[in-house]
Structure 1
Amino acid sequence: MDLPQQPVYAIIPSQGPSIESDRLLLRPVCDSDAEALFAFRSRPEIAEMNHPKEPHKSIEETREWMSTKTFSEGPSDVIGRSFHYAIVDKSFSKTQQRVIGSLSISQVAPFPEIGYAVHPDAWGKGIATEALQLLLKMWWDLPRRTAEGDSAHPVEVEKVFALCEKRNRGSCRVLEKCGFKVVGDYQHEQDELYIFALDRS
């Protein structure tokens, strides 16, 4: 199956909102998060399920990866902006709150795509599911642009998408718990992937 094609309808602010639950805070990633992000992007078990399969070898490499979360394609008003969030564990004191993962709308062209990773020490606690639910709430709450083209013809239902390796059962379960459905298969090099989609309610 070919990859999805859908324009981005969200109007993305220059400084994204933050959101929190009882145990998590999601806030826009900043440069000072590089060391915390490197702590899990350098782990082989994280790299194994993420292209290009190589753990980060330095904080500078993590900073380069962070820079890829800035949109370079899409409507002119989203170029240079991002929707990349740090997952902060609130169980520590204010001065010690820890970044335990990140998630984002990784790209908006040719389709809005979700990406996320959580430190292995935090696996199995429902953190990725909870964080993704928070991110989706922020995304759907953003103001929307009118569709390009003939306004007399309604736009198809707006969606967000995620690509997930078929063997990554943990990540597939996270997406399923958040309401995503498998809509197709895709192969990237040697990776067998599911294409997941979630309709805007």
Structure 2
Amino acid sequence: MAAAADDNTNTMTAPGATGNDNDDGDGTVLVRTTLPSRPLPANDTRPHHRTARLLVRPLRQSDLAGLHALRTQPEAMTGTRLGRPDRDLAETQVELDFFRHGVRGGSGEPPYLWGAFLSPPQQQQRSATTSTGDEEEGEEEVELLIGEGGVHTLATDAVAASGWPEIGYKFRREYWGQGYATEFVEAVLGAWWGLPRSTVEIRVNRRAVAAAMSAAANDSVPEDGGEDDVIEATEQMYANAEPSNAGSCRVLEKLGFRRYHEWTEPDTQEHRVGKPLDLAGYLLAKSACL
């Protein structure tokens, strides 16, 4: 169950859009909204968050082995842009550097990404059902990385996607269907909405702004163009998923995301390059979460 944060990472299941074959030319509009003030807090300064079962914290260099174990699991990587596991530890290191420093995108600013770790009590409960009796007494508990994700794209393409920030995740196969993804994404969203904000003007896809316009805005969306066309819109979070992926769609809907658009685009996965890929776009308003 997953969703695309990198060239070989998941966003709520499918890679970010690269162009909509079925787009009817709606184009973009300029909106006045809020977004987290930039730069975002540095990765190593971000506070840790605890949910009922998880520790949600930024990844460290010491998490390389755990991240590699996740990214070499074929099931966890099925929704990624390349659709395959990492080939070696060096590929995983590139993604860990992106998590921590934002270097892969060349921006020098890290995205808002996190690791999902089982807390020691949860590890004890799971190990109790699988124990072989060979564990040494007093063995120290370590955090177990079972998933990762967050706001991997701070501003999506307004034509090809939505223009709003995009969230995604991936989890190890053995932890699917147990509510961990919902618990994790809810915590990440809470941290994201809690960041200090600034008023900004950004370009947003016409369909996305129609779904996101605040109650104070006019009912009609203005044509592309001049400075007078700026409209007020409530800040949104964007995600996409393959409609056939019931698990990811259910996670989004449980969190309050609203499906607003469906389209088909050429797939980017290495074993399906150019084949049709069906996607559904989702939006979540900031006000709906507060």
**Shared fold (TM-score greater than 0.5)?**
yes
How far the C-alpha of 1:112 sits from its partner, in A, is 0.7
Offset at residue 147 of structure 1 (A): 2.0
**1:38 partnered with 2:68:** yes
Q: What residue identity is the alignment partner of 1:179? A: G
Q: Hey, what's the Cα distance between the residues in 1 that align with 2:144 and 2:198? A: 35
When residues 141 and 188 of structure 1 are mapped into structure 2, their CA distance, relative to the original with a 3 A threshold, is: farther
Question: Paired residue for 2:237?
Answer: 160
CA distance in structure 2 between the aligned counterparts of 1:156 and 1:82, rounded to whole angstroms:
23
What is the aligned counterpart of 1:182 among 259, 275, 280? 259
Please name the residue that 2:280 is paired with.
Answer: 194
Q: Distance in 1 between matches of 2:170 and 2:123?
A: 20
| CA drift at 1:162 | 0.8
Counterpart CA distance in 2 for 1:58 and 1:112 is: 30
Identity of aligned residues (%): 29
Quote the Cα distance in structure 1 between the aligned partners of 2:28 and 2:78.
24
- Say whether 1:9 aligns with 2:25: no
Alpha-carbon distance in structure 2 between the residues aligned to 1:87 and 1:195: 24
Q: Deviations over 1:94-143 (max 9, x none)?
A: 73221110011011123311010111111111000000110100000001
Counterpart contact for 1:73–1:108, Cα < 8 Å: no
**Distance (Å, rounded) in 2 between the aligned partners of 1:4 and 1:172:** 26
CA 1:20–1:4 in 2, change beyond 3 Å: closer, same or farther?
farther
Equivalent residue for 2:167?
Answer: 114
Corresponding residue to 1:83 among 84, 105, 112? 112
Q: What is the correspondence of 1:6-155 to structure 2 with a 5 Å cutoff?
A: 9-11=35-37, 12-14=40-42, 15-69=45-99, 70=102, 72=105, 79-90=108-119, 91-92=122-123, 95-110=141-156, 111-148=164-201, 155=232
Moved more, 110-119 or 63-72: 63-72
Closer, same or farther in 2 for the Cα pair 1:73/1:109, shift >3 Å?
A: farther
Match of 2:210 in 1: none
Q: Is the 8 A contact 2:48 2:56 kept in 1?
A: yes
**Counterpart amino acid of 1:198?**
L
Q: Which protein has the larger Cα radius of gyration, Structure 1 or Structure 2?
A: 2
Q: TM-score, normalised by structure 2?
A: 0.60
What is the root-mean-square deviation of aligned Cα atoms in Å?
A: 2.7
Change (3 A) 1:50 1:103: same
- Alignment deviations for residues 30-82 of structure 1 (CA, whole Å, 9 cap, x no partner): 122121112121122122221111111212111212334427488xxxx5232
The number of residues matched between the two structures is: 195
Residue aligned with 2:94, SS: helix
After TM superposition, which residue ranges in structure 1, 4 or more long, deviate above 4 angstroms? Answer: 1-8, 71-74
TM-aligned CA deviation for residue 200 of structure 1: 0.4
Aligned mates of 1:31, 1:182 — CA distance in 2: 36
- Unmatched segments (≥5 aa) in structure 2: 1-19, 125-139, 157-163, 203-226, 268-274
* Amino acid in structure 2 at the alignment position of 1:81: P
CA distance in 1, matches of 2:191, 2:266: 30
Query: Is residue 48–residue 54 contact of structure 1 (8 Å, CA) maintained in 2?
Result: yes
Q: Which amino acid aligns with 2:243?
A: K
Counterpart for residue 247 of structure 2: 170
Whether the 8 Å CA contact 1:133–1:178 is kept in 2: the answer is: yes
Output the CA distance in 1 between the equivalents of 2:28 and 2:75. Answer: 28
Q: In structure 2, do the counterparts of structure 1 residues 35 and 142 end up closer, same or farther at CA, with 3 Å as the change threshold?
A: same
What letter is aligned with 1:13? P
Task: Give the letter aligned to residue 149 of structure 2.
Answer: L
